[in-house]
Amino acid sequence: MAEVENIKTAYSQSKSVFGAVQAIKSQLAGFQTHFLLVFASSSYEQTLLCQSLRSAFPNAQMMGCSTAGEVVSQHLLQGAVVVMAFNQQIIADIHLEVVEDLTDNRGLDVALKGFETHFGVDLNRIDHRAYAGLVLIDGMSKMEETFIERLGDKTNLVFIGGSAGDDLQFQTTHVYAQGKAYSHAAVLVVFKPRNGFDMLKTQSFFSSEKHLTPTKVDPATRTVLEFDSKPAAQAYAEALGVKIADLPSLFMRHPLGLMADGEPFVRSPQKLNGQALDFYCRIVEGVPLTILNPLDIVQDTQKALSLKLAEMGSVQGVIDFQCILRTLQLREEGKTESYVQLFENIPLVGFSTYGEAYLGHMNQTSTMFLFK
Amino acid sequence: MAGQIKSILEQIILFKSLGDPMLQKMTKVKLLIKGIQVDDFNDDSPDDPAMIAKLCDIVDEFGLTSGYFEQFKQVEVNVDG
């Protein structure tokens, strides 16, 4: 007897919203979709896309966002819509909340209250082995650190996810919830996978022996003005043994790591800003950072994934929140096929993010959710 | 005096994690992201009022309620005048 599928993926590269939604509906025909996770290129008209998906799947909870590239079983795409559909055999219970204004702290409080009302339990005391959260957040808001930190303050539940993208336009990103598209917003779900789950955070770097301590920062702009009381660019260049002018070509290969038990939470430099450095992630003053050295993304991810799969036994599906910088590197090295092959025989969905979420906001990382 | 910061951190981790080892590890990461390196503090660490005030803020952010923390908040109020 054939094994019943509890998770299905579908995708379309149709340029029209109508064509894309029809294709996805057709690929999921006969499947009882309880929860639909959607990642789509910003090239689609976002409101129309959400409304059309809602019409096609009126009984499903729907969450998603715009991307800087899409991932679906065996494909790393651009300009597409990808979805993962879950039935009730895999998700026993689910609740979705939208925080419509990231600048208003009350929004998150109301959302968390909504989860507590639905599940009937204090989120600080919820069983974090039975329940988990997903978070998708506006990738242009520069609010991710504050929001995800507050999420961690208020709950012991682990939320994993990423920042929405817009195909490297760096203008406007959207998150999707129940047929609507939002900007300057976040969408959260808390669910109870019926058969268990695990998470994986992998970044394909190892620590050097070199450290830099931020001594002057502007958190609001994610700028480091000084490392070790020297102009940031000068200190970083000295640590790498290169000229300041050469730094931009080395940012992706040598980002900085906030080290927790030997594991880096990656902070990636974005650009030189005079003598200062702008990052893709807020840097905290006074906490030493380690200069990281690169590993091969495919080989290192394979190692991390194999270990996790061996621990879990069987996996019914994976959601991959992969940093756009990793995707760009895979494309540059011609390794996109090798990367998606790592997930052979496992339903996979994901997107290229403007930042990843797991306990905090980070860069150049893949955060993955694995359904047992 | 010395050692109070280490004690406060131990209590924050205990209260936030409810004794769960996985949550203890996660709480230490959350503190690190806020700029607190837990392992840097020991019984000899000076009782820096600025750091104690920062930890009191984190106690509030975590929503921890315990008489243990109130004594330090009281000191903070007195210091502030």
Instruction: Return per-residue pLDDT of chain B as tens, 81 residues.
Output: 788 999 999 999 999 998 899 999 999 999 999 999 999 999 999 988 999 999 999 999 998 887 777 777 766 555 554
> Distance from A287 to chain B by nearest Cα, in Å?
6
Mean of pLDDT values over A250-263 = 94
- Report helix, strand or coil for A341: helix
Share of chain A above pLDDT 90, in %: 96
pLDDT tens readout for residues A281-307: 999 999 999 999 999 999 999 999 999
Task: Tell me which residue in A125, A153, A258 faces B32 most closely, judged by beta carbons.
Answer: A258
DSSP A274-299: TTEEEESS---TT--EEEEEE--HHH
Q: What HEC string does A202-232 produce?
A: ECCEEEEEEEECEEEEEHHHCEEEEECCEEH
Asked if B26 lies within 8 A of A359 by C-beta distance, the reply is yes
Number of CB pairs, chain A paired with chain B, less than 8 A apart: 49
> Distance from B58 to chain A by nearest Cα, in Å?
8
From A286, A285, A304, A288, select the one nearest A296 (Cα to Cα): A304
DSSP A5: P
Interface mutation vs chain A, best among B27, B29, B66, most A CBs within 10 Å: B29
Examine the pLDDT at A4 and tell me if it is beyond 80: no
From B3, B18, B2, B5, select the one nearest B69 (Cα to Cα): B5
Q: B66: left (phi > 0), else alpha (psi -120 to 50), else beta?
A: beta
Residue A73 pLDDT level (bands cut at 50, 70, 90): very high
Query: Is A359 at the interface with chain B, CB within 8 A?
Result: yes
pTM as predicted: 0.93
Chain B residues with CB inside 8 Å of A152's CB? Answer: 26, 30, 33
> Distance from A26 to chain B by nearest Cα, in Å?
42
Mean of pLDDT values over A150-163 = 95
Chain B residues with CB inside 8 Å of A285's CB? Answer: 35
Chain B residues with CB inside 8 Å of A158's CB? Answer: 26
Amino acid A255 reads P
| CA A217 from centroid of its chain's CA atoms | 25
What is the rounded CA–CA span in Å between residue A28 and residue A26? 5
- Assembly ipTM: 0.90
Cβ–Cβ under 8 Å, residues A166 and A78? no
Examine the pLDDT at A124 and tell me if it is beyond 80: yes
- Report helix, strand or coil for A1: coil
From A271, A273, A149, A267, select the one nearest A212 (Cα to Cα): A267
Amino acid A349: pLDDT: 98
Asked if B29 lies within 8 A of A360 by C-beta distance, the reply is yes
From A130, A93, A89, select the one nearest A316 (Cα to Cα): A89
Cβ–Cβ under 8 Å, residues A174 and A98? no
Share of chain A above pLDDT 70, in %: 99
